[in-house]
């Protein structure tokens, strides 16, 4: 089934009670027992399950081509659920350019529970093999990465992880399943900040973990969702199902617009470097062509100068909004080093741009005016 069709139909059927085409919003936190004390209709309590959440989890599973999805109230909650599946004494190897929130968890919190984290250049095959030694239990990659848009060969990373007896977890937020399917290249789990492209309208806070197969890893993450109360609310799940219906169409616009903007920026004298895998000058372009369908809507670029010049350019924008987050219909831009703090890898001259679905000429005109 094609992405456009999956977005509309995956995880959802016509409501048998009313014939409603759109899935009903179920807000109830509790569900009636049968006369014999059972729950033949499948739901007990909101923390353990909800019909809308279940539909969203089925939908994302089908989109990614996985076995099962567990939905969470944020992308960070999803990441935390995956990391808590590790046990004291375990080791996790992490690609060096990974979302700063995940880095902060692994640097500031998990060491006190006996979890060791090693950050490596995941494109350096020798360094990756050297890092993935016992007691490594997990390799975490993000491709393209945030905010430097580094591209990691998922198949190569999977081979190293599996040779070491470790799981490969791939953060897929920047691409969505429309652009990249990590399971096809050997990943064992896929993590999403659903807040971004999947919901697509900057009005939902949610996350998800998709599993390739059943097993203890999946069981621990699913149990954490219920036992820790880390559950997406029904309305956010419903809004995401609504947003997913246009995912494939939106991603085409995001990808086309981002490529046009990246080419403009690459030619501008005020810009010293553009990080976008769709450009032939990008070091990961060949790998991106191999494992991605399109190059996504995210890019970052470095300005001639430093922090002051970056903020001066941002102040001159009229259409592109200065705001955190990404993946919505609006184009959003921000200075990453000032957001990420002491663990950042972003240069002071770098800004990250989430290219929206506005007309590309209008986005480029706004950037041109701000740069000049």
On whether both 255 and 189 belong to a single domain, the answer is: no
pTM of the prediction?
0.95
Could you please report the per-residue DSSP string of 86-97? S-TT-EEEEESS
Domains in the chain, number? 2
On whether both 107 and 219 belong to a single domain, the answer is: yes
Q: Domain residues for 302?
A: 247-371
CA distances from 274 to 239, 256, 281, 288 (A): 34, 16, 9, 16
On whether both 255 and 230 belong to a single domain, the answer is: no
On whether both 178 and 267 belong to a single domain, the answer is: no
On whether both 80 and 225 belong to a single domain, the answer is: yes
pLDDT of residue 219: 97
Q: Which helix (H) or strand (E) holds 220?
A: helix 216-227
On whether both 230 and 269 belong to a single domain, the answer is: no
Minimal CA–CA distance to 52: which of 29, 78, 76, 68? 29
List per-residue pLDDT tens for the chain, 372 residues long: 899 999 999 999 998 889 999 999 999 999 999 999 999 999 999 999 999 999 999 999 999 999 999 999 999 999 999 999 999 999 999 999 999 999 999 999 999 999 999 999 999 999 999 999 999 999 999 999 999 999 999 999 999 999 999 999 999 999 999 999 999 999 999 999 999 999 999 999 999 999 999 999 999 999 999 999 999 999 999 999 999 999 999 999 999 999 999 999 999 999 999 999 999 999 999 999 999 999 999 999 999 999 999 999 999 999 999 999 999 999 999 999 998 888 888 999 999 999 999 999 999 999 999 999
Among the three residues 244, 265, 292, which one is the final residue of a domain in this structure?
244
Among the three residues 211, 244, 277, which one is the final residue of a domain in this structure?
244
On whether both 180 and 191 belong to a single domain, the answer is: yes
CATH of the domain at 366: 3.90.1150.10
On whether both 311 and 210 belong to a single domain, the answer is: no
Among the three residues 210, 244, 278, which one is the final residue of a domain in this structure?
244
Tens digit of pLDDT for each residue in 306-343?
A: 999 999 999 999 999 999 999 999 999 999 999 888 88
CATH of the domain at 175: 3.40.640.10
pLDDT of residue 342: 81
pLDDT of residue 343: 80
On whether both 227 and 286 belong to a single domain, the answer is: no
Q: Which helix (H) or strand (E) holds 193?
A: none
């Amino acid at each position: 089934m094609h992405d456009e069709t999956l977005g509309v139909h995956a995880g959802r059927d016509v409501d048998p009670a009313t014939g409603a085409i759109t899935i009903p919003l179920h807000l109830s936190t509790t569900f009636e027992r049968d006369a014999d004390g059972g729950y033949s209709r499948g739901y007990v309590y909101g923390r353990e399950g909800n019909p809308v959440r279940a539909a969203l989890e089925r939908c994302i599973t089908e989109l990614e081509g996985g076995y099962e999805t567990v939905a969470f109230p944020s992308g960070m909650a999803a990441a935390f659920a995956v990391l808590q599946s590790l046990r004291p004494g375990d080791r996790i190897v992490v690609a060096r350019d990974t979302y700063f929130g995940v880095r902060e968890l692994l640097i500031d919190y998990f060491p006190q529970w006996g979890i060791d984290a090693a950050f490596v250049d995941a494109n350096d095959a020798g360094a990756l093999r050297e890092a993935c030694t016992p007691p490594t239990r997990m390799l975490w990659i993000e491709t393209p990465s945030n905010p430097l848009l580094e591209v990691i060969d998922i198949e190569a990373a999977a081979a190293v992880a599996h040779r070491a007896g470790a799981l490969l977890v791939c953060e897929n937020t920047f691409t969505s399943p429309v652009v990249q399917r990590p399971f096809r290249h050997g990943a064992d789990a896929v993590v999403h900040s659903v807040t971004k492209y999947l919901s697509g309208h900057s009005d939902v806070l949610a996350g998800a973990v998709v599993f390739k197969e059943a097993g203890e890893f999946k069981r621990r993450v699913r149990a954490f969702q219920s036992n820790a109360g880390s559950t997406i609310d029904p309305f956010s799940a419903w809004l995401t199902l609504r947003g997913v219906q246009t995912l494939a169409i939106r991603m085409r616009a995001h990808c086309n617009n981002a490529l046009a903007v990246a080419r403009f920026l690459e030619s501008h004298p005020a810009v010293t470097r553009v990080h976008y895998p769709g450009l032939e000058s990008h070091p990961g372009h060949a790998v991106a062509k191999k494992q991605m369908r399109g190059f996504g809507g995210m890019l970052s670029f470095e300005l001639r100068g430093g922090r002051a010049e970056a903020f001066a350019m941002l102040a001159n924008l009229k259409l592109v909004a200065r705001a955190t987050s990404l993946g919505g219909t609006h184009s959003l831009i921000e200075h990453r080093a000032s957001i990420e703090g002491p663990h950042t890898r972003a240069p002071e001259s770098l800004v990250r741009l989430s290219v929206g679905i506005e007309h590309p000429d209008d986005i480029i005109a706004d950037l041109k005016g701000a740069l000049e």
